[in-house]
């Protein structure tokens, strides 16, 4: 009885300390006893462990079914055996026998062996559970208690996902992971969720964002983050009452942890300035957030329903001169003054990258001078089409047609109504002329490439394909077709049309153009380039020989190449010495005076080399 009371007391104590329901602990003890019993008595027996509230012990029972023909002696019992042992049971009835395994019940065990020993066959096992079975029961209890603790922690924190939490840094683990003490449990701050410029020591206070609660993971189930965008938003909710109350809302946010962030705010009350509410008196509110984020710079921009105005606000502090919107591709071109280009882009593209994330648009930043150059080139390309003058080209450019390729892809009805164009028939003629102009441009590119010796880039090779322009290359690249061979090897034209968004007619044209280029035009280009390389190589060899002669003449001026005096020299000799005969002058003895002079002149020398003093003294060969 004392043991039972002590077990009950232990269960109650653990229940209070671990905040685990007593029923869970009782089920855990029952499972541990059952596991140990099966290990000692055999897994084939039908056993059941049951906690006795009156005695405080865990009772163990074995169940057997009355059968006519016994197939499993450990689970079944015959009618004859039941009658021999004085048991009254019918076929199919289940009989339960209590198994006395405790030392205090040794007398009861002996009595049971005497009455039902041959039936239960437990005599040889009446020695307790043994060390291994007891250790197994212990492991079961520990694991069940641990699982119950994790379940309680999960139920407590599952509703706090997406909130801020404060803890104390306890230790670093393998992989530079930080274990944070939250009081009743621990959380983990993985290395990938840490800001690179931040460092912590054991005992430091840390505020983090609860990113996830993972009950299945090993170790702490609470996963924290210091890099998540939610940390920035929740910090503002804590510091700005208007955001917490819903008067001011954070529409979107973009963040590069540890460096810079941007948030777009809007107000539901016309009398409340959203930016001023977030900044606070003398910047007190935003400064509190900056301190919590360890000095991270924060830009607060007002939200606008107009995408162009919103992007201009997001790119601040840079000024924007012009915005060109491409809704089909979800992109904008921002034209900024030349002196503001670096400010708009930011350090390593940080400002424009954050503005793009904040607005959801793909942004391209160009300077005013570059934009004017692009505009002039586009207008000139349009004006090169037969039937389009400069005024009409400027009109087409303002309407969004930037190249002959866009005119070809457009329906004639889209630009037939332009004043001065001439109606639908003229639009058809211009579209046909644009196709001719684009083909002529392609042929010029092929001719220029045939005379080049440098290797061709994949983009240049794509431009050799009939029907492919700059816009088409962008769509092909986005769909994964970055080489002519990728288009050539594409079997399904429908898939090419769907992935690129070009349409089936255009996809078939490009597919045929790639086939023509691979099978015929590329061979002609490569042959022409090989001839160009063959022409250039002798020139390179000749230039190399000339440089070598110049170097030889320069070296001879210091000694052996050009000598002075009456001694016999191999290069130029002075005074009374006769020049070598013509058949000797061209030997390895050295260059003739004429050839050295010409070589020196070709190398850019100020004066030709002259002979030294005639008195035979050793002098400098070049003056």
More confident residue, 469 or 133: 469
Angstrom distance (rounded) from CA 34 to CA 418: 90
Please report the pLDDT score of residue 580 as a whole number.
43
| Segment 160-164 mean pLDDT | 88
Give the pLDDT of residue 536: 65
Complete DSSP assignment for 563-598: --SSS--SS---TTPPPPPHHHHTSTT---HHHHHH
Q: Residue 593: phi, psi to the nearest 5?
A: -55, -40
Residue 129 confidence class, pLDDT cut points 50, 70, 90: low
Structure-block tokens of residue 14: 């653990």
User: 158-313, what's its fold?
Assistant: GMP Synthetase; Chain A, domain 3 (3.30.300)
Strand partners, 364: 333
Q: Where does CATH 3.30.1480.10 sit in the chain?
A: 2-149
Average pLDDT of the chain is 77
Q: What is the CATH number of domain 2-149?
A: 3.30.1480.10
Lowest-pLDDT range, 95-109, 376-390, 431-445? 95-109
Considering the chain, tell me which residue range(s) the CATH 3.30.300.20 domain(s) occupy: 158-313, 316-383
Measured distance CA(208)–CA(255) in Å, rounded: 16
Tens digits of residue pLDDT in 144-158: 888 787 888 888 788
Exposed / middle / buried, residue 240 (Cβ in 10 Å: 0-12, 13-18, 19+): buried
How confident is the model over 448-472, as pLDDT tens digits?
A: 877 777 777 888 888 888 878 877 8
Element (H, E) at 195: none
For residues 102-127, give the mean pLDDT.
68
pTM, rounded to two decimals: 0.59
Percentage of the chain modeled with pLDDT above 70:
82
Assign 228 a pLDDT band (cuts: 50, 70, 90): very high
What is the predicted pLDDT for the residue at 300?
Answer: 92
The distance between the two most distant Cα atoms of the chain, rounded to a whole number of Å, is: 151
CATH number assigned to the domain covering 316-383: 3.30.300.20
Residue with more model confidence, 535 or 370: 370
Cβ(562)–Cβ(571) below 8 Å = yes
- Can you tell me the distance from the alpha carbon of 426 to that of 386, in angstroms, rounded to the nearest whole number? 11
pLDDT digits (tens, 9 = 90+) for 247-256: 999 999 999 9
pLDDT of residue 251: 92
pLDDT score, position 590: 39
Question: What residues does 48 pair with on adjacent strands?
Answer: 61
Span 253-264, average pLDDT: 92
Q: Give the Cα separation of 288 and 290 in Å (integer).
A: 5
Note the pLDDT of residue 553. 52
In angstroms, rounded to a whole number, what is the distance separating the alpha carbons of residues 162 and 241? Answer: 19
Q: Is the pLDDT of residue 262 over 90?
A: yes
Residue of 259, 206, 261, 209 whose CA lies nearest to 235: 209
pLDDT (average), residues 271-278? 91
Tokens read off for 244: 């917490």
Q: Give pLDDT, residue 586.
A: 38
pLDDT at 356: 92
Span 245-269, average pLDDT: 91
What are the backbone dihedrals phi and psi of residue 333, each rounded to the nearest 5 degrees, phi first?
-105, 125
Question: How does residue 574 score in pLDDT terms, banded at 50, 70 and 90?
Answer: very low
299 - beta bridge partners? 262
pLDDT for 290 equals: 92
Between 31-45, 73-87, 608-622, the lowest mean confidence (pLDDT) is in: 608-622
Written as six digits, the tokens of 272 are 């409340």
d(CA 361, CA 252) in angstroms, rounded, equals 13
**Residue 128 pLDDT:** 59
Q: Which of 85-89, 270-274, 554-558 has the lowest mean pLDDT?
A: 554-558
pLDDT of 107 reads: 75
Most confident of 183-197, 261-275, 604-618: 261-275
**Greater confidence, 297 or 393?**
297
What phi and psi, each to the nearest 5 degrees, are found at residue 62?
-120, 135
Burial class (CB in 10 A: 0-12, 13-18, 19+), 38: middle
Q: What is the pLDDT of residue 382?
A: 80
pLDDT at 123: 61
Whether 16 has a pLDDT exceeding 80, the answer reads no
Query: Which pLDDT score is estimated for 585?
Result: 35
Q: Are 499 and 480 in contact (CB under 8 A)?
A: yes
């Amino acid at each position: 009885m004392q043991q039972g009371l002590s077990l009950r007391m232990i269960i109650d104590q653990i229940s209070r300390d671990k905040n685990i329901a007593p029923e869970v602990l009782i089920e855990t003890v029952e499972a541990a006893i059952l596991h140990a019993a099966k290990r000692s008595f055999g897994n084939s027996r039908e056993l059941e462990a049951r906690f006795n509230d009156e005695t405080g012990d865990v009772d163990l029972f074995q169940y057997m079914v009355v059968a006519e023909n016994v197939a499993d002696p450990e689970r079944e019992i015959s009618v004859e055996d039941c009658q021999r042992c004085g048991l009254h049971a019918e076929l199919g009835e289940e009989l339960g026998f209590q198994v006395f395994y405790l030392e205090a019940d040794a007398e009861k065990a002996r009595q049971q062996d005497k009455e039902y020993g041959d039936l239960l066959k437990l005599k040889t096992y009446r020695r307790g559970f043994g060390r291994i079975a007891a250790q197994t029961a212990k492991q079961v209890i520990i694991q069940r208690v641990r699982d119950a603790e994790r379940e309680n922690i999960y139920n407590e924190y599952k509703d706090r996902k997406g909130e801020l939490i404060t803890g104390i840094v306890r230790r670093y683990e393998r992989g530079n992971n930080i274990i944070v003490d939250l009081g009743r449990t621990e959380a983990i701050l993985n290395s990938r969720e840490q800001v690179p410029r931040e460092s912590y020591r054991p005992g430091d206070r840390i505020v983090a964002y609860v990113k996830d609660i993972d009950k299945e993971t090993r170790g702490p189930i609470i996963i924290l983050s210091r890099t998540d965008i939610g940390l920035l938003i929740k910090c503002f909710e804590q510091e700005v009452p208007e955001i917490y109350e819903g008067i001011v809302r954070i529409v979107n946010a973009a963040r590069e942890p540890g460096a810079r962030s941007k948030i777009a705010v809007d107000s539901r009350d016309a009398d409340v300035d959203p930016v001023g509410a977030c900044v606070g008196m003398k910047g007190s509110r935003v400064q509190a957030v900056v301190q919590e984020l360890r000095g991270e710079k924060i830009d607060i921009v007002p939200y606008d329903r107009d995408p162009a105005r919103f992007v201009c606000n997001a790119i601040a502090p840079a000024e924007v001169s012009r915005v060109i919107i491409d809704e089909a591709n979800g992109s904008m071109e921002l034209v900024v003054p030349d002196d503001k280009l670096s400010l708009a882009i930011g350090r390593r593209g940080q400002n424009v990258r954050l503005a793009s994330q904040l607005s959801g648009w793909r942004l391209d930043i160009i300077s005013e001078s570059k934009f004017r150059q692009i505009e002039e080139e586009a207008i000139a390309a349009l004006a090169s089409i037969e039937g389009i003058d400069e005024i009409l080209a400027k009109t087409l450019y303002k309407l969004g047609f930037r190249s002959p390729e866009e005119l070809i892809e457009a329906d004639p009805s889209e630009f037939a109504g332009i004043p001065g164009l001439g109606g639908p028939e003229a639009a058809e003629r211009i579209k046909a002329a644009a196709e001719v102009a684009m083909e002529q441009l392609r042929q010029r590119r092929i001719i220029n490439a045939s005379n080049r010796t440098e290797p061709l880039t994949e983009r240049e090779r794509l431009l050799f394909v009939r029907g492919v322009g700059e816009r088409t290359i962008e769509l092909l690249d986005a769909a994964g077709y970055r080489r002519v061979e990728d288009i050539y090897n594409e079997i399904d034209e429908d898939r090419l049309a769907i992935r690129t968004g070009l349409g089936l007619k255009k996809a078939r044209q490009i597919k045929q153009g790639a086939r023509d280029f691979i099978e015929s035009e590329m061979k002609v280009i490569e042959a022409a380039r090989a001839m160009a390389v063959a022409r250039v190589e002798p020139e390179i060899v000749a230039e190399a020989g000339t440089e070598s002669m110049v170097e030889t003449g320069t070296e001879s001026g210091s000694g052996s190449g050009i000598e002075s005096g009456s001694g016999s020299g191999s290069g130029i000799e002075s005074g009374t010495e006769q020049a070598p005969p013509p058949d000797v002058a061209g030997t390895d003895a050295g260059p003739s005076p004429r050839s050295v002079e010409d070589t020196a002149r070709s190398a850019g020398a100020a004066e030709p080399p002259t002979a030294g003093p005639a008195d035979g003294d050793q002098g400098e060969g070049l003056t």
